[in-house]
Amino acid sequence: MREDLKEAILEDLSTDSSKILEESTKLKLHDIVVSALAQITFYRNAMQMTHVEFDQKFEEIKAFCTQQIDTLWDEVKRLEYPHIYYVDYSEKLWLEQMRLLNEKQNG
């Protein structure tokens, strides 16, 4: 790695690290809260179901998952030497990445 690039990276890290840490802490806390609320909602709904309703819902979810797995190629599903499944950026995500890179380079 070139020395000037290394110094620039270290400078960026030292100036932005507290901001990045603060933002990531907020995001992690938000994710934890959202996940906990989703689990509480799931358990609350499950506890209100009868045994038969719960079994029906479980079978619906299982059928949906099986249907989605069936859309994958066999090469992707095999355990030995699985085919690498490439996923491309959506146009919206790619444009956002380009905007952020341009902002960082020009600003």
Q: Is the pLDDT of residue 42 over 60?
A: yes
Cα(83)–Cα(74) distance, integer angstroms = 9
Residue 65 has a pLDDT of: 87
Please state the pTM of the whole predicted model. 0.40
Domain residue limits at 39: 3-106
Using pLDDT thresholds of 50, 70 and 90, give the confidence band for residue 15: low
Tokens (6 digits) for 66: 């099986």
CA distance 58 to 61: 5
As for how many domains the chain has, the answer is 1
Residues with Cβ within 8 Å of 83's Cβ and at least 6 positions away in sequence, in order, are: 73, 75, 76
The pair of three-digit structure tokens given for residue 92, joined into one six-digit string: 């919206």
With 60 as the cut, is the pLDDT of residue 31 above it? yes
Q: Could you tell me which of 3, 102, 96 has the C-alpha nearest to residue 11?
A: 3
